[in-house]
Amino acid sequence: MVRLLVLLLLIALPAHAQNRAQNRAQDRDAPRLELILDPRAVAPFEGEMVLATLRGIYRQVITREEVKLRPMTDFDWVRLGQDRWKEERIDGRPARVFERRIAFYPRRAGALRILPVAHALEVLGPDGGRKTVTVRSAPVALNVRTKPATGTERWLPLRALEISDSWDVDPARLADGQGATRRVVLRAFGATPERMPPQPDLRQPWLIVFAPPEERDFQVTPEGPVATVVWTWHLRPVTGEPGVIPAITLPWFDTGDRTARSATIPAAPIGYASFSASAGPRARPVGPPGWAFWGLAGLSALATAALASRGRSPAGHLAVRMGRRWRRRALEIRLRRQVRAGDAVGARRNAARLLEDFSTLDEAERLTRLRPADEVLFADGAAARATGQTPLGALPASVLSGLTSNGDAAAEPPVRHVPAWRSGTPSSRQ
């Protein structure tokens, strides 16, 4: 009996070993897919780029394939370039290796999981038939830290940020009536275009600004996307007096050094060269006051007394109202005359004065009503002037329809907010 059991055991052992070898061979030949995160020294912040490689090992003959990376609640992702196929020897046997680079962006902090990625394969069997096989990667756990407090609303983690600022002409020495175009280009390594900040607003009370739509694009590299944003402004001083466009600061977080940084678009002076020349060293001081000065001073005193007495005297109040109506009428006549003459700069200036002094519109509504003049002064007006169909003719109706009735709705003319650089500087232009 014992001999029989030993004999049966000797017969079964080789068969069992053969089955185990066959199973190991099948496991080794089975398609495999895994998502491998790039090594990191510290856990990423929310919104920070996390690089990974999707790697598949196949020994089958593949006739068609498709990667299915579904949308995720906790991550945004972007594919980095074309897939890569190569031949390698793995475990002593040839295999086809598939690789795809992917950048993930965690949407929130916490213990997150990257969901499995599916790779649908159409393989050719030994009998020549085709069948579909779906291979899935295992989920990947990732701890994400809360973004640090930066004191600003926008959080922009990047590997690098470059800024270029250029002008088509010298903005500080413009010819009379001339405009300038400013172009700022941002290149951000490690971000997609939708993560970049919006275009800054350069509007000033003394500056006409027209901003075309910004340009956003990106290129992909194996180490992450490179976003490019182009901001353009067409600028023209209202009166030409020299002014300074303030500097703009863009905060961002350096993911390489793990430090907060900021990039600056520098301040830029802009104005007509004729103003600088008139205020130069050749300007002569004005002589002692003469009869004209004392006459104007007397008129000013009378006007001040009339303004002070309004509200206490019906006659004084009537004088103020008549004066406002006369001034409004004069501005309207001058506006129509300038429109007929094609003087877009002068028409725009007088239209702005009418809207500021004789309307209750806010700044956005006033800019909308000044749009016909802005279209002539900037890009849209160039094509219109070439065809002889300028939109400037629509300016009077656009402006006058926004004024209050007879100028009586506003008892006091609105206060003009004059920039600090204009305080105490006499203007040589109207």
Looking at per-residue confidence, does 179 or 386 come out higher? 179
SS3 content of the chain, % helix, strand, coil (to 5): 35, 35, 35
Q: What is the dihedral of CA 285, 303, 410, 328, to 10 degrees?
A: -70
Per the model's pLDDT, the better-predicted residue between 132 and 11 turns out to be 132
> What are the structure tokens assigned to 66, written together?
């498709």
Express each pLDDT in 226-278 by its tens digit: 999 999 999 999 877 889 999 999 999 999 999 999 999 999 999 998 876 55
At 289, is the pLDDT very low, low, confident or very high (cuts 50, 70, 90)? Answer: very low
The chain-wide mean pLDDT, for the chain, equals 80
Backbone angles phi, psi at 324, to 5 degrees: -65, -40
pLDDT digit string, tens, across residues 6-55: 565 656 555 544 555 444 545 577 899 999 999 999 999 999 999 999 99
| Residue 312 DSSP SS3 | coil
pLDDT at residue 125, rounded to an integer: 82
**Residue range 343-372: mean pLDDT, rounded:** 82
Express as a percent the part of the chain with pLDDT over 90: 48
| Residue 380: pLDDT band with limits 50, 70, 90 | very low
Whole-number pLDDT of residue 20: 54
What's phi and psi for 296, nearest 5 deg? -65, -35
pLDDT at 318 over 50: yes
Tokens of 165: 């600022």
Residues 42-99 pLDDT 10s: 999 999 999 999 999 999 999 999 999 989 999 999 999 999 999 999 888 899 999 9
Assigned CATH topology for domain 26-144: Immunoglobulin-like (2.60.40)
DSSP state of 279: T
Which residue has better confidence, 316 or 100? Answer: 100
Q: Is 199 helix (H, G, I), strand (E, B) or coil?
A: coil
pLDDT at 146 over 80: yes
pLDDT category of residue 307 using cuts at 50, 70 and 90: low
Q: How confident is the model at residue 101 (pLDDT cuts 50, 70, 90)?
A: very high
Mean pLDDT across 100-127:
94
In this predicted structure, the answer to whether residue 388 has a pLDDT above a threshold of 90 is no
pLDDT higher than threshold 80 for residue 417: no
What is the C-alpha separation between 191 and 225, in angstroms, rounded?
A: 6
| Among candidate residues 243, 270, 274, 301, the one with its CA nearest the CA of residue 171 | 270
Half-sphere exposure of 114 (CA within 13 A, CB side): 27
Q: Report the residue count for the chain.
A: 430
What is the C-alpha separation between 189 and 48, in angstroms, rounded? Answer: 12
DSSP label of 421 = G
The structure tokens listed for 248 are 């703009």
d(CA 57, CA 217): 34
Rounded Cα distance, 345 and 32, in Å: 70
Summarize the confidence of residues 144-163 as an average pLDDT.
90
Q: At what angle do helices 291-309 and 314-341 cross, to 10 degrees?
A: 120
Q: State the pLDDT at residue 421.
A: 37
Q: What's the confidence (pLDDT) of residue 11? A: 64
- Look at residue 162 in the predicted model and tell me its pLDDT: 95
**Which run of H or of E encompasses 292?**
helix 291-309
Task: Assess contact for 353 and 369: CB atoms under 8 A.
Answer: no
- Cβ within 8 Å of residue 345, ≥6 positions away: 177, 236, 377
Q: Would you state the pLDDT for residue 150?
A: 75
Q: How many CA atoms lie within 13 A of 231 on its CB side?
A: 18
Return the higher-pLDDT residue of 52 and 427: 52
Q: Are 95 and 86 in contact (CB under 8 A)?
A: no
pLDDT digits (tens, 9 = 90+) for 196-214: 999 999 999 899 999 999 9
Separation between Cα atoms, residue 178 and residue 345, nearest integer Å? 10
| Kind of pairing between the strands at 110-114 and 50-58 | unpaired
* pLDDT value of position 390: 60
Q: What is the dihedral of CA 166, 168, 169, 172, to 10 degrees?
A: -40
pLDDT of residue 140 exceeding 60, the answer is: yes
Contacts within 8 Å (CB) and 24+ apart, 334-340: 335/395, 335/396, 335/399, 336/396, 339/392, 339/393, 339/395, 339/396
Which amino acid is residue 224, in one-letter code? G
Hey, where are the domains in the chain? 26-144, 157-276, 321-419
DSSP string covering 170-185: -GGGBPTT--EEEEEE
